[in-house]
Amino acid sequence: MIQAAIFDMDGLLVDSEPHWRIVEIDVFRTVGLELTDEDCMRTTGLPTRAVVDYWYERSPWTGRDPDELSDAILAGAYDRIGRLAGPMPGALALLQFFKEKSIPMAIASASPMELIELVIDRLGIRDYFTVWHSATLEAHNKPAPDVYLGTARKLNVSPADCLAFEDSGNGLKSAHAAGMRTVAVPAEYERDDPKFAIADYIIPSLTAFDAELFLKLETVN
C-alpha cells in the first residue's frame, strides 16, 4: 500500500523552470556566455552550483567567481518565482486527491529550504504537507537518493511504501535509487528521452493522474 506521496518541487508542483532559465541567461551573460533557452534545458534538475560548474567546464570565464554566479542565480530565481510563478497544471488537484485519501505528503527538492518555503507560501499549499525537505541539507544532492531517503525517515515511512513524483531525469534517478515507486512527468521537449524509462509510469501532466493509476501503483512491487 502507498503510505506517503512525495513530490519534487521545481517544474513539478510549481511552474518555475522558465524563471530559472531567464535568470540563468541573464547571469551567464555577465561573464560573456550567451545561452539559449534550449541550452538551459540541458541542466534542468541540477542544483544551482552544479549548473554553474557545468557551463564553466565547457566555457571557462574570468572576472566572477563561480560561487558569486551561483548566488546571483539563486537571488534572481527567488525574486521571480516569489512574484510570478504559479502551480503546474493539475498540481493543486493532485494534492487534494491525496489529502482526501488521508495519505501524508512531502516535498523533496534539490532547491534550498528558503526557496521551498517561498514556493509553499506563494502557492498557498503549506497545509497539505507533513514534511518539506531540501537535498542541500543532505550529504549529496540529486541524483543521489539522500533527499528521498531523508524525507521517508522524517515521515516514518519505508521508502518502498512511498510514491514519488518527478519531472527531471536526475530527480527520477534519486527517487528510483531510494527504492520508491515513481511517476515521471517530463516536460514535452524531453518526454521521449530514455532516461525516464526507469519510472513505473510516465504521464504527460499531473492532470493525467487519476484513481485508476493510483490503484495500479499500489500493486507495484
Cα torsion through 126, 81, 27, 24, rounded to 10: 80
Q: Which of 8, 15, 146, 167 is catalytic?
A: 8
Quote the CA–CA distance of 213 and 210 in Å, as a whole number: 5
Clarify whether 8 is annotated catalytic: yes
> Which residue from 215, 210, 213, 207 is spatially nearest to 91, judged by alpha carbons?
207
- Residue 137 is placed in which grid cell? 541539507
Clarify whether 10 is annotated catalytic: yes
**Terminal C-alpha separation, the chain:** 10
3-class secondary-structure state, position 137: helix
Which residues are known catalytic residues?
8, 10
